Amino acid sequence: MRASPFLFRFRLVILVLTIAIGFWAPWVQMAGVGTRISLLEWLALEISRLGLLRFTLATPAVILTGSLIALLGAILRIWASAWLGPGIVLNREMQAGAVMADGPFRYVRNPLYLGLVSMIAAMALIMPASGALFVLISVPVLLFSLIRREEEFLSARSGEPYRAYLRSVPRLIPRVCTRPLPTGNRPHWLEAVLSEITPIGVFLTISCLSWTYDNRLMIRAILVTLGVSLVVRALMPKRTPAEPVQKVSANQP
């Protein structure tokens, strides 16, 4: 499956709709398929049922694991955005130019996508289990199609330098020992933090509010975070790098 230009341009809308369907899980009410028990509770119950941990320990273990996954997502998103620049990350059109081999892009070609998947995996803990399954299948399929489209576009536009980058840096599984040399770009940490408020909010929600076991409260917290993120992004100066770099990524909700 290859992403069309339309799919790339409206990737944020599609991601938000997919996540909304995961939270809603309409098939539970309409067809009686599955239950509305959250993935967090379901995992804790299954771990307890299998005798791996008592339920009183299984639930904190799931919360801590989800918190670490959310933290990984926030770190990857901020780290990659700092080097790439919000002007490229949030652009609705694909950009091509000099190959970016700084920061996390030295070790993996798609750190923004990895961060996005980690963030959504953490959010899935407060979805109904069947809704979480829907999201955890649909989102990777969508992102992989976007990756394929980007690689074709950048290979055609940037030529051999980008193809050499493809050969030396893995697509999704980070590798410490890679050949690309830093290109001398500088990170913009403040802009990156401001542009990635949503993954930060998801981490804080999962790590702090999961202990209340109040899914509605956590959903409201994530919605507030999303709203704040949209306002901050709208107010940020529309500064883009003088020379577009090799990588763009899906917006996160």
Assigned domain for 245 exists: no
CA distances from 105 to 7, 100, 220 (A): 24, 7, 34
101 membership: H or E segment, kind and range: none
The pLDDT of residue 30 is above 50: yes
Assigned domain for 246 exists: no
More confident residue, 57 or 153: 57
- Cα–Cα distance, 42 to 37 (Å, whole number): 7
- Cα–Cα distance, 16 to 243 (Å, whole number): 30
Work out the angle between the directed axes of helices 11-24 and 111-123 (0-180°, nearest 10).
20
Domain range for 191 is: 5-235
Spell out the residues 6+ positions from residue 235 whose beta carbon is closer than 8 angstroms to its own: none
- Tell me the two tokens of residue 27: 């098939």
184 membership: H or E segment, kind and range: none
- Tell me the two tokens of residue 57: 């320990």
Q: What is the CATH number of the domain that holds 123?
A: 1.20.120
- Per the structure, the count of domains in the chain is 1
pLDDT-derived band at 181, boundaries 50, 70, 90: low
Per-residue confidence (pLDDT) for residue 247, from 0 to 100: 46
Assigned domain for 134 exists: yes
Span 125-145, mean pLDDT?
Answer: 96
Per-residue confidence (pLDDT) for residue 2, from 0 to 100: 57
pLDDT-derived band at 186, boundaries 50, 70, 90: confident
Query: Tokens 């956590």 correspond to what residue?
Result: 218
Work out the angle between the directed axes of helices 55-84 and 197-204 (0-180°, nearest 10).
170
Per-residue confidence (pLDDT) for residue 212, from 0 to 100: 94
Identity (one letter) of the amino acid at 4? S
Least confident of 21-30, 64-73, 113-122, 171-180: 171-180
Other beta carbons within 10 angstroms of residue 245's beta carbon come to: 23
80 with 111: CB under 8 angstroms?
A: yes
**Share of residues in the chain with pLDDT > 70 (%):** 84
Per-residue confidence (pLDDT) for residue 132, from 0 to 100: 97
Cross-strand partners of 142: none
Assigned domain for 250 exists: no
Assigned domain for 241 exists: no
Per-residue confidence (pLDDT) for residue 244, from 0 to 100: 41
The pLDDT of residue 50 is above 80: yes
More confident residue, 46 or 7: 46
Assigned domain for 206 exists: yes
pLDDT digits (tens, 9 = 90+) for 205-228: 999 999 999 999 999 999 999 999
- Tell me the two tokens of residue 15: 């991601």
